[in-house]
Structure 1
Amino acid sequence: MTCGWAQSIEQLTERQRNRLEEATERLKVLRLEIRDQQIPMGKKLADLRYESNSKERLLKERQRLRDRSSLSLEQLESQVAAGKNELDYIAGNLFNEFESSFKAALSPGEISTFGEDLRQLDLLLERVDTTEAEKISASMEQIADSLDRIDGLLAGKRYPGSALDPEGKQLAGSFIQVGPLLYFISESKGTVGWVEETRTLKPKMRSIGSSEVKAIQNLSETGIGLLPVDPTLGDAVAFAETKESWQEHFKKGGVWVIPIIGFAILSMVVAIYKSIQVSLIRQPQPRVVHEIIEKLGADDSKGALSLAASQSGPAAQMLTEGVKNAGESVELVEEVMFESILGAQPKLERFLNVIAVTAATAPLLGLLGTVTGIIKTFKLMEIFGAGDPKPLISGISEALITTEMGLVLAIPALIAHALLSRRVAGILAQMEKLSIAFVNGLSRRDVGFKAAENSTD
């Protein structure tokens, strides 16, 4: 039994060993096969990885190109939209602004030359069936013409036309233009002058001196010469023309200037008369009163009366009346002298109220002229409208000049009245002072007489 189990174990062990050897052999063979296949498969794997990486890079590149194409398309669309907006702005705004500026820059003589072209351009731009390209092309042609115009102005040019002479007659001739300076010479070459801008459709000439006329005629005939230049472009000439004589100035003031001037003459005459009158009045010195009192104290009534009468001005009569009544009471003498002062006052103040009335009336007349001038201005506005101010100038001048004349009269009249009133008040005050001194002198004399009588008793 034991031998049988031992034999079985050995057989089993042998069988397992054989199987192990066979398995080992197969493992060796398999390892050899794997080793033989590992290199080609590794190369193939590397090739596949390389191919995968290449395709991955290609995929990324195409994705980047696709993204870039999408972005470029959006940018192009944005650029196209911005370009369209810019084109619309140029065609809709800048060209219109240029056309307006170009029209404003044209001289009166050039309006007839460029006027038809500008009118045709306006009609083309206003047509509905005109394409944007046609509008832009027409505007660019206009810009080219404006550049040619600038070249011509810099070098000087001459072109035919017609203008109104200073009397308003239309004359045919030619314009000579250098920069902003514009001259006109008629076909007969007898009428030459500056050309000024007006609100009328026709350019109007302005008269110039004989030397300037000869210079322009010489340039027109020979093409070479010196031109008279006004750097102010006519403003200096226009300013010189605003200077007017005092007759023209008064005439613009209308009918109310006549009474204002009348009051001015009256006020001036009265002021001169009163000035001479009060300036000739010489008031007696206070010592004269003392001398008269001394003569009266010495019972020299005739000497006192002669001295009082020899004085000048209204004070002489006052002192004379005082001497004549020196023998009366002091109160009576005082009343008599005060009566003389009251009698002299109207004579001194005579005609001063005339100056005061003219000083007060002149501004009212000026205000009346202002009202009538404004009414006239509104009437002219109803006829001519408010666009052109030239027809309204007469009413405005009447409104302002009458006010000016009223103030010009009132201010000196007020000053003259104040000065003359002050002078008259001074004369009356001096007379009152002399009368008080005279009365006080009589009072002291009477007191002296009484004291002398008492001492005698």
Structure 2
Amino acid sequence: MAQTQAKGMDDLLKRIQQDSAASAKLNQEREARFLRDRNAQAEMLQKAEAEHAAVKAKSDAIRARYEANQKQIAELKEQFKTRAGDYTQVAAAVRQAAADFRAHAGDSPISAQFPERLAFLDTLTADNAMPVQADIEKLWFTLQQEMTENGRVASFPAEVVDPAGAASKQQVTRVGAFTSFHDGRYLVPQPGGSELLELARQPERKFRSMAKDFGEAEGRAPILVDPTGGTLLAQEALRPSLMERIDMGGEVGYIIIVIGLVGAVLAIWQLAWLLRTDRAVRRQLANVAQPSDDNPLGRVLATFKGNPATAAEDAEVIELRLSEAVLREVPKLERFQAFLRLAVAAGPLLGLIGTVVGMIITFQVITEQGAGDPRLMAEGISQAMVATVLGLGIAVPLLFINSLLAARSRAITQILDEQATGLLAERLEQTRA
């Protein structure tokens, strides 16, 4: 047992020795590997530091070159300013002139014929633009072109935008820088652009016909000239037409017009009848011995000369018969005059009613909207004024024509009375004889 234990202790000691040797070897390997790694890291650190130094040197060189370039640029700018001298002021003046002319050219119909000049002016007016001699000469040419075209009538194709917004190519006639039109319809320049806009509301027909005739004329012809570039044309187009003015009068205005038209028709018809009757009466005066029933005088004469029973009647009965015959003709001669007198009196009164209604509308608008904008009150005032004009407009003509009818009817009645009195005197002479 003792020997066995001793052997076991030897093995244990031997194993311990072996393990210690193995651990020592492993530690040595670790120390060697650590030393190798430390040397490698040192080499890498040295390499990194070398690279950093190289990059820093390169960066310092670039910075130095940049600073040198900036200094050189500043020196060149100062040298440029010194050498440029008055040219900078000239360039500023050119840009200002181009900007002022660009504002004018954008509202000129000449730009529709020469649209490329707007792009040139936009380029020339840029802040960083430095015009060269060619640009200055072209600007001078453009200004001279504007002055020349102001006194010229030209026809050219251009883009025209209708009131619906559709653009189309049309043949446009231009009168200087004042008026432009196509096919009798007036155009205005598009603000800031080269297209022409067709007025949504055109001037009255006589001005449109004038434009159409001017476009078709080969020689001289009259035409509207708008020195404001379309403002006056637009204002002229806003003027209401005759039917629009009549419509401003409202319902009262239409009533006045109906009364006036009825009175005018009746008056004209009666005047024509009186003229025919007057000619027939004068023909009858030339042949009193043969009365005709196609005129009042003939019918009056027929009551005396065409009736054998009157030969035995006394003068008083004959006078009554003649008076009856004359009175029978008077209503036809004075026909419609009572209605015309009524229309003459009613016209101004209806116009006054329209005036009052218009004032009521105006005061209602003032109550609701205030009196700050006069255009809000225009409807009521227009109705008031138009109704008054319509009332007086039918009263004055009907007054004159009624006076004419009364004079014509009195003249014919006077002839009937004279002839009737003459017949009665002739009968009295025959009785006394």
TM-score (norm 2): 0.48
TM-score (norm 1): 0.46
Mark the structure with the bigger radius of gyration: 1
